[in-house]
Chain A
Amino acid sequence: MRSLLLAGTALLTLASGAAQAQVSNDVVRIGVLNDRSGIYADLAGEGSAIAARMAAEEFGGKVAGAPIEIVVADHQNKADIAASKAREWVDTGNVDVIADVPNSAAALAVQGITKEKKRIFLMSGPGATALTGAQCSPYGFHWTYDNYAMAAGTGRALFEQGKKSWYFVTADYAFGQSLEEETTKMVNKLGGKVVGTVRHPLGSSDFSSFLLQAQASKADVIGFANAGGDATNAVKQAAEFGITQSGQSLAGLLLFITDVHALGLSAAQGLMFTEGFYWNLDDQTRDWSKKFEAKAGKKPTMVQAGVYSAVKHYLKAVEAAKTDDSDKVAAKMRELPVEDMFAKKGKVAANGRMFHDMYLVRVKKPGESKGPWDYYDVVKTIPAETAFLDPALSGCPLVK
């Protein structure tokens, strides 16, 4: 029924004449595909859709003479739902762009489809480095962060703060191991050292023995190479052991502001990690985040801010290319600098990686926080050039 309706509208739009022949179907349709009901619903979810709508509104709802439309769907963290929704959108829904897609399996599936069907893919939610490595696509743009930036970025930034020895508490599966490996490479390269590692199974609830080993190692930094529930559990229990008070630093290798919000400042205080965005960086980010908060009821995460920035850059490229033809728009996106409240002088590399400044943050003590969402001290700005993996080393066939 729905597809019939869609086909009907498509026919109608075709019949109504091709006044703006350069924009397919006379509409630029952006599909925000993410988790709207599960574990990523807070950090992406409806907030990402709101961010995309805000970008469209800044263009007055029209680009190159055609209206902009935002559609949303919930992939429920299942790669097959993401794949079938993406295919359906492209085949029958005239969707020109797919945005966000947290969960790396879902994102890799959508990357394959958008590559085959030649549609632009703006990734903000996923972290897998393969998206701009072996699995890169001429139409795929990885915007906000990636696992390399989170791991290596944190390793380098902490080294520069004089913290040179590391102990890892790693989730024992490919994702945790790759976070650990990237950080280790960076720490070793700079002349620091890793004094030990302990692996825990995915979905652990008791970290006490791992934390005691980490504490006994006397390493400067205890790095949590895990994510989601594992990371928050580890941080919470580390707070109970008073690890930060005894002089060791805790580093998260993949955390979001929503994790800090859930943990509360008393548990998360002193924790250091890398962020792609913080609402309280400057006037521009505060201004935008205030507008976002009015609609969403909370401050934006880096993923949501990244969706805004990516959609806005896409629309700029459509305006400049005067068409929504994917090849031409992708070329324009690589050519134009990214300039908005999220990224200052950002640049899209050949492999689709968007280079922008990242930030090493430390979570404030409860007494230092002046209000809701006032969570971070920005310890250091990690310049774009060193924040991400050199495209030449990414293994992406598009980089010559």
Chain B
Amino acid sequence: MTAASQTTNQAAPKTATVALRGPDAGTARTALLFAVGLAVAGAAPFALYPVFVMKVLCFALFACAFNLLIGFAGLLSFGHAAFFGGAAYVTAHSVKVWGLPPEAGLLLGVLAGAFLGLIFGVIAIRRQGIYFAMITLALSQMVFFMALQMKFTGGEDGIQGVPRGVLFGIFDLTQPLTMYYAVLAIFVVGFALIWRTVHSPFGQVLKAIRENEPRAISLGYRTDRYKLVAFVLSASLAGLAGGTKALVFQLASLTDVQWQMSGEVVLMTLLGGMGTLFGPVVGAGLVVTLESYLAATSLPVPVVIGAIFVVCVLLFRRGIVGEILARLPGAR
């Protein structure tokens, strides 16, 4: 926890130069990378197990949402599990018990994430640094204990057997491939939204706040409002990821709201490269792959992931993508 926040503080100024590149060359490269990524993702279910790739996509979206906050606004939230897991519960419950179609369930999940984000944000953005992180952690623990106690979440059994349903009345999500492309579409929409946000004037203000908040204030920006909007946006996207995951796995459980999940998303973002657009996707892919493929070996999964994290912090603090970008000619 402290290790994570320390690296945040140290890594932020270094990645800044990468993120503040001009829109010309950077945009072309991003578009190219995005097209390649999309082609790979489109072909992935024929080579890899679709459920596994869907899981990667859900976590990638979650990590991207988190990265929007830490990488571009400089806010380290330690409570993102509450948005992710809270939305998973809301989507699962509304689809299973109320019998809503999946798109309505997802929408409710996003709204739940946004609502929680608004509450968390209003309270937490009044403080900075470690206090901000602690407040978000405390609030997310409250959500965890509520999830543990409330009847509709099923306690430690979770909500099980969530039907996937028929998206927009046309797409039958019980077919693995249909579900896969629906998840891919959701991811692309979420990712595009983040890309647009980062490259908008709003995104530039966020970066300014990250770099020097008093100066942004002196320029006349109401930084608290910008931070709050960024927080709510990030929470909504985390909610979208959580709701999608509930549909993919047809369950919502305490794992998704536990503080370890907040830690996991920090880990994914830092490993991949904080403040880069593709970093969180790579980080999420790496962590999820390790979790599922080490599962069948005799290596203890948490130890391996922990060791990789230590190596990352010691040797390449910018994360995988951050380090590649920094070493590419013309990147600076």
Q: Is the CB of A80 within 8 A of B49?
A: no
Q: Is the CB of A108 within 8 A of B160?
A: yes
Contact bitstring B246-262, A, C-beta under 8 A = 1, else 0? 00011101111000000
User: For B93, what are the chain A residues with a Cβ–Cβ distance below 8 Å?
Assistant: none
> Complex Cα distance A92/B301, Å?
23
> Complex Cα distance A201/B145, Å?
9
> Complex Cα distance A71/B303, Å?
22
Task: Identify 9 residue pairs between A and B in the complex whose beta-carbon atoms are under 8 Å apart, listed by A's number.
Answer: A3-B48, A36-B300, A87-B51, A108-B158, A109-B160, A112-B160, A174-B155, A174-B156, A202-B148
User: For A104, what are the chain B residues with a Cβ–Cβ distance below 8 Å?
Assistant: 156-157
> Complex Cα distance A46/B297, Å?
11
Closest residue of chain B to A78, judged by CB? Answer: B255
User: For B300, what are the chain A residues with a Cβ–Cβ distance below 8 Å?
Assistant: 36-37, 74
Q: Is the CB of B157 within 8 A of A83?
A: no
Give the shortest distance, in Å, between A151 (CB) and chain B (any CB).
Answer: 16
Give the shortest distance, in Å, between A75 (CB) and chain B (any CB).
Answer: 7
- Given contact pairs A80-B245, A80-B253, A73 touches B295 in the complex (Cβ within 8 A): yes
Contact bitstring B122-161, A, C-beta under 8 A = 1, else 0? 0000000000000000000000010011000011111011
Report which of B157, B160, B293, B296 forms a contact with A72, defined as CB distance below 8 A.
B296
User: For B148, what are the chain A residues with a Cβ–Cβ distance below 8 Å?
Assistant: 173-174, 202
User: For A128, what are the chain B residues with a Cβ–Cβ distance below 8 Å?
Assistant: 157
Most buried by B among A38, A71, A104: A104
Is A335 in contact with chain B by the CB < 8 A criterion? no
User: For B316, what are the chain A residues with a Cβ–Cβ distance below 8 Å?
Assistant: none
Q: Is the CB of A84 within 8 A of B251?
A: no
Is A336 in contact with chain B by the CB < 8 A criterion? no
Residues of B in contact (CB 8 Å), total 35
> Complex Cα distance A59/B67, Å?
54
Closest residue of chain B to A38, judged by CB? Answer: B302
Closest residue of chain B to A80, judged by CB? Answer: B249
Give the shortest distance, in Å, between A41 (CB) and chain B (any CB).
Answer: 8
Give the shortest distance, in Å, between A208 (CB) and chain B (any CB).
Answer: 22
Report which of B149, B157, B251, B293 forms a contact with A130, defined as CB distance below 8 A.
B157
Q: Is the CB of A80 within 8 A of B255?
A: yes
Q: Is the CB of B156 within 8 A of A175?
A: yes
Contact bitstring A244-288, B, C-beta under 8 A = 1, else 0? 000000000000000000000000000000000000000000000
User: For B221, what are the chain A residues with a Cβ–Cβ distance below 8 Å?
Assistant: none
Q: Is the CB of B292 within 8 A of A173?
A: no
Q: Which of B36-86 contact A (CB under 8 A)?
A: 47-49, 51-52, 55
Is A79 in contact with chain B by the CB < 8 A criterion? yes
Q: Is the CB of B51 within 8 A of A88?
A: yes
Contact bitstring A358-388, B, C-beta under 8 A = 1, else 0? 0000000000000000000000000000000
Q: Is the CB of A4 within 8 A of B302?
A: no
> Complex Cα distance A108/B52, Å?
20
Give the shortest distance, in Å, between A71 (CB) and chain B (any CB).
Answer: 7
Contact bitstring A90-130, B, C-beta under 8 A = 1, else 0? 01100000000000110011011000000000000000101
Q: Which of A127-177 contact B (CB under 8 A)?
A: 128, 130, 135, 172-175
Residues of A in contact (CB 8 Å), total 40
Most buried by A among B154, B245, B255, B300: B255
Q: Is the CB of A79 within 8 A of B149?
A: no
User: For A46, what are the chain B residues with a Cβ–Cβ distance below 8 Å?
Assistant: 298
Report which of B49, B154, B249, B294 forms a contact with A83, defined as CB distance below 8 A.
B249
Q: Is the CB of B51 within 8 A of A135?
A: no
> Complex Cα distance A74/B156, Å?
19
Q: Which of A52-81 contact B (CB under 8 A)?
A: 71-81
> Complex Cα distance A83/B292, Å?
11
User: For B157, what are the chain A residues with a Cβ–Cβ distance below 8 Å?
Assistant: 104-105, 108, 128, 130, 174
Q: Is the CB of B250 within 8 A of A83?
A: yes
> Complex Cα distance A236/B85, Å?
34
> Complex Cα distance A108/B249, Å?
12
Is B291 in contact with chain A by the CB < 8 A criterion? yes
Is A85 in contact with chain B by the CB < 8 A criterion? yes
Give 19 A-B pairs besides A46-B298, A71-B296, A109-B250 with Cβ atoms closer than 8 angstroms. A37-B302, A78-B253, A80-B251, A80-B253, A83-B251, A85-B292, A87-B51, A92-B49, A104-B157, A105-B158, A105-B251, A109-B251, A111-B160, A130-B157, A135-B160, A135-B161, A172-B149, A174-B148, A174-B157
- Given contact pairs A91-B49, A105-B254, A79 touches B301 in the complex (Cβ within 8 A): no
Q: Is the CB of A79 within 8 A of B255?
A: yes
Most buried by B among A46, A81, A135: A81
Give the shortest distance, in Å, between B152 (CB) and chain A (any CB).
Answer: 11
Closest residue of chain A to B50, judged by CB? Answer: A91
Q: Is the CB of B294 within 8 A of A74?
A: yes
User: For B145, what are the chain A residues with a Cβ–Cβ distance below 8 Å?
Assistant: 201-202
> Complex Cα distance A12/B225, Å?
62
> Complex Cα distance A173/B147, Å?
10
User: For B250, what are the chain A residues with a Cβ–Cβ distance below 8 Å?
Assistant: 83, 109, 112
> Complex Cα distance A85/B51, Å?
9
> Complex Cα distance A104/B156, Å?
7
Closest residue of chain A to B150, judged by CB? Answer: A174
Q: Is the CB of A84 within 8 A of B51?
A: yes
User: For B296, what are the chain A residues with a Cβ–Cβ distance below 8 Å?
Assistant: 71-74, 85
> Complex Cα distance A76/B154, Å?
20
Is A400 in contact with chain B by the CB < 8 A criterion? no
User: For B158, what are the chain A residues with a Cβ–Cβ distance below 8 Å?
Assistant: 79, 105, 108-109
Closest residue of chain B to A130, judged by CB? Answer: B157
User: For B253, what are the chain A residues with a Cβ–Cβ distance below 8 Å?
Assistant: 78-80, 105, 109
> Complex Cα distance A211/B273, Å?
49
User: For B51, what are the chain A residues with a Cβ–Cβ distance below 8 Å?
Assistant: 84, 87-88
Q: Which of A157-214 contact B (CB under 8 A)?
A: 172-175, 201-202
Q: Which of B205-242 contact A (CB under 8 A)?
A: none
Q: Is the CB of A173 within 8 A of B255?
A: no
Give the shortest distance, in Å, between A228 (CB) and chain B (any CB).
Answer: 11
Q: Is the CB of B295 within 8 A of A76?
A: yes
User: For A135, what are the chain B residues with a Cβ–Cβ distance below 8 Å?
Assistant: 160-161
User: For B251, what are the chain A residues with a Cβ–Cβ distance below 8 Å?
Assistant: 79-80, 83, 105, 108-109, 112
